[in-house]
Each structure stands twice: as C-alpha cells, then as structure tokens.
Structure 1
Amino acid sequence: MKKIICFAMFLALSLPPLGACALTLAVEDAWEPYANPDGTGMSVEIVTAAFKSVGVEVVLEVLPYARVLHEVKSGKYVGGFNVAREASREDDFLWGREMLFLAHAHYYHHKSSPLRAQDPRSLQDGERVGVIRGYEYGNLFHDHEGIVRVWANRHDQIIDMLRLGRVQAVIMFEKTAGLYLREMHLEDEIQAAFPSEPSRIFVAFSKRRPEVPHYLELLDEGLRRIKADGTYQAILDKY
C-alpha cells in the first residue's frame, strides 16, 4: 500500500474530506492488549476510529517502543503511540487535549513471598522490582532511591523473574497482567499487591513536522466524536 501523508484535507472540521488521504503513525509492538505485535489492539482501534470519524485513514508502522519515541521525536513520523504523558518528556513532543485512555497499573508479587509494603512509598531498600525498559511508571517509582530496578524487554520476562524469585515485585498494567497471567497459567500464583501510578496515554506528535497542528486538532475532534456516539466505550468494553 502506498503511504501518503496529506498536508491539506479539510477547509474546516465541519467540511467533508478532500479526497482519500492517509496518515502514517508509529505504534509500539509489545503492549498487549493495548497494542499487539500484529498492529491490532485497544489503542489501535481507538486511534483509527477517531481519525476515521474525521475522514482520515491511518496507516501503522509497528515498531519497538524505544524506536517509536526516537523516530517521532526526530520527525520521521508525524506521531506515535502509546506514550505516557509525564513531566520527563512533556517538552519532547506536542500533545493534544484528549488522551486516549488512563492505564491503571499495579505492583504484583508472588503469593509465596508477599511484599511487606502496602504502597510504593513503603517498598524496602534493596527490594528488586522488574519493569519494562523504556516504560514510564510515575514519580513514586522513579524517585524511590532505595529499590533496585531490574529492566527487561518483555512482560513474560519480568513475570518469569518474579516466578523464579529473582525480583520481589513487578509492575504491570492491569489489562496486560491479566492477559499474560492467564496465558502463563499463573493467576493463582502471581497477584496484585497494590496500585502503581496510572498513566495518561496519548498520541505523541513530533515537533519537527509542520502538519502536526492540523492532525492534533483532527485527533482531538475525532476522540470527542467517538466518545459522544458510543464507539469509544464499545472499544473499551471489548478489552
């Protein structure tokens, strides 16, 4: 499929599109079920439905998360997702008013060796926490100087670390944890201990592309439309 980025599609949001145009966005490849390796997933459905509602076809480039960030920041792509909007990268990208969704996360522990902590602040110095390289977990996690962060590339890897006792906890987003623990038959062994900070998930837009303000406005409008007509909630309910 020929990928075309259109620089002019509407005279105004209320007018119909001028021709068939496509916007190429980068999406991460391993945050199931939000974004799957085959380019499907909850956030993919939200983004494509929002843009479709304002007449924009989306073409996806599925990439590792670190590449999504790098190549959007460099201007290779107009935008990419799923990016947590946090202070550490607020100035790296342009952001719309409408977030895609709020992703809830927990610290998980093994029932044979439960954490003594009741919240992120009370984790003990030296406790090892498994996390995914490049992901954002909030200020409470990043500012805790006593814990040992053990980074991995995939969720099954940090789950295995926990199962084998190599870490005392892992942080996973709820829907991801539910999917992996079911597939790995570990629902009875690995359980949520307490909440981590939720993440506000956005499409991050490049500061290096002149057409970005146009697409920012269209995405915000599209998200408002699908929230108003029930499409957004129907997508959430599937997952």
Structure 2
Amino acid sequence: MLQQKTNHRIWQFKPMLLMCALYLLAPSTDAALETHETMTIMVEDAAAPWSDHDGTGYANDVVVAAFKEMAVEVQLKVVPYARCKYAVLNGTSVACFNMSWLPELEGKIKLASQPIFYVNNDIFESMKTPLPKPLKGTCTLPPGTVVGTVRGYEYSPQVTALQSAGGVFESTESDIQNLKKLAARRLSAALIVTNDLEAKTQKTKQSGAEDAVQFAFNCGVETATIGFSLTHPDGLRALKMYDEGYRRIQANGVLKQIHAHWFPSQPVDRL
C-alpha cells in the first residue's frame, strides 16, 4: 500500500515537473531584449550642429537613439563627408549620414524613409565684391563665377543648374574652409549649407569671416538623412531596423527630448 501511494504522488507531480522543464528551456523575453549587436556607421565630421568633428550632434543622437530602440549599439566613425559617401557607395560601410538624394545614387544607396533635418543651399558673397542679385526666387550667377563647394555634398537641382550654366565649382573639405577662402577673395562665391534653426551668420562667425562675407541668396532646400548601402550585406536589414527605431522614438518622445536638448528655443516642426 505504501509503495502504491508513493507512486501515485510522483505521478501527480509529473505535469508540474514537465512545465518547469519547459519553462527553463524556453528563451526569456527579457533576455531577448537584452541581447544586442554592435554596428559601425560612418558620419560626416564638419556639419555642426548636426554632426561635428568630435562625434556629437543632433543627427548623431537621433541615429544612435533609433538603433538603440532596436537593441543595436551604434559606434560612429567620424570622417570627412567625401570618405563617408565613398564608403557607403562601394559597400565597405553599411551606412553614412547626413545624405541627400541625387539620381546618381539610384540602385546604390537607399535613404531612410524620414528626413533627420532640412538644409538650405545658400550662396554667400564677399562684402567687397558683391554678386549681381538674381530675380527674386531665382538662383543665377554670371558664367565663369568661381564657387566654393564641399567635396562629395549633394546639392539641389538649382545648384546643379548653376554649374550647367557656366559656374566653376571648386571643392574643399568644409563650408568653413570655403568661407575663409571667400574672405581671402580666393573665391567669387561660396555655396554654404545652412538651416532655419540658426542665424545665417553662424558659420561666418565660426570661420572668423563675419566682417568680410555675407549671405547673398538661396539656391534651394534639401532633406538630409542616413543612407544605407545596397551592396553591403547588412544594408537593407540595417535600413529596416533604423526606420522602425525612428518610428518608435517619434512615438515615445525620445525624438522630442533630443530636439529640446539641441534646440531648446525652437519648435520641433522646424526640423
């Protein structure tokens, strides 16, 4: 009788033991959330306040936060923009920012679905030798005008039309270098990327040329975001993760927090 009773108790506990075993073998949801990968992404080095040489910037924070939502730790590799763009075009880097669209990128790079920010393509002139003013709302320069641009940057169709109409483009590594060259009268004009969140004089002050150069007129507006390589094996996967991560930081308020940190006095809709 005693043996039968013992077997009966063991039989009663078998379902419970089985459930415990299955629970121990099953993957933990919390553990799954804690697992992550590390991804290296290139970013330009001379586009403050979006992306600066020290790895800080509004765009840098946005990209890192979006991937963090997807349990991906991003390591930013800060390089000149031309190198950033070249690496993503040839597939040695999974992504590069801040990029704008050009037809030549078709089939090579796919941009994120949402812009990170908007920029103006502005012509600056020397105060001593001002440029002829075009008609309001147009972007024209006399043929032969030497214009400073940044190596590798994507510019608006209006800017492309300037070159087609006889403008002579000379490229350097940054807008700051071009403003210095313009102040030294080594250029006739400089094509500078600005934004509505800062004064037009922001970069002229950074270059030390605020008493020698000034804004002349606008040549279009571009969106800037992160571009993913279509030849890199992780390019499309990284794009999908980023797009979803960006959607999440929009919904949970993280994007607004980043904006408030960098632009405390400006509304979010000005990005």
If the TM-score is normalised by the length of the shorter chain, which range does it land in?
0.7 to 0.9
Instruction: Please say if 1:122 is aligned against 2:134.
Output: no
Which one has the largest radius of gyration?
2
Greater shift in the superposed pair: 73-82 or 168-177: 168-177
Relative to the length of structure 2, the TM-score reads 0.74
Deviations 1:140-173 (A, max 9, x none): 2223322111222233321122112222221111
- Corresponding residue for residue 3 of structure 1: none
Aligned residues: 225
Moved over 6 A (4+): none
Instruction: Please say if 1:70 is aligned against 2:93.
Output: no
Greater shift in the superposed pair: 110-119 or 149-158: 110-119
- Corresponding residue for residue 5 of structure 2: none
Alignment of 1:108-187 (within 5 A): 108-118=124-134, 121-144=139-162, 145-175=165-195, 178-187=201-210
Q: CA deviation at 1:25?
A: 0.7
Instruction: Please say if 1:212 is aligned against 2:235.
Output: yes
Q: Which of 60, 64, 72 is the aligned partner of 1:56?
A: 72
Alignment of 1:99-110 (within 5 A): 99-110=115-126
Question: Given the superposition, is the C-alpha separation of residues 71 and 55 from structure 1 closer, same or farther in structure 2, using an over 3 Å criterion?
Answer: same
Instruction: Please say if 1:29 is aligned against 2:45.
Output: yes
Q: CA deviation at 1:42?
A: 1.8
- Corresponding residue for residue 40 of structure 1: 56
Point out the structure with the larger helix share.
Answer: 2
- The CA distance in 1 between the partners of 2:160 and 2:82, in whole Å, is 18
Task: Specify the SS of the correspondent of 2:210.
Answer: coil
Percent identity (aligned): 29
Q: Which one scores higher on RCO, CA 8 angstroms, separation ≥ 6?
A: 1
- The CA distance in 1 between the partners of 2:252 and 2:84, in whole Å, is 30
Unaligned runs of 5+ in 2: 1-30, 264-271
Q: CA deviation at 1:234?
A: 3.9
Relative to the length of structure 1, the TM-score reads 0.82
- The CA distance in 2 between the partners of 1:90 and 1:179, in whole Å, is 34
AA partner of residue 154 (structure 1): S
Greater shift in the superposed pair: 225-234 or 159-168: 225-234
Residues 229 and 236, structure 2, Cα contact 8 Å, conserved in 1: no
Residues 137 and 196, structure 1, Cα contact 8 Å, conserved in 2: no
Task: Specify the SS of the correspondent of 1:91.
Answer: coil
What is the alpha-carbon root mean square deviation over aligned residues? 2.4
- The CA distance in 2 between the partners of 1:122 and 1:95, in whole Å, is 29
Task: Specify the SS of the correspondent of 1:197.
Answer: strand
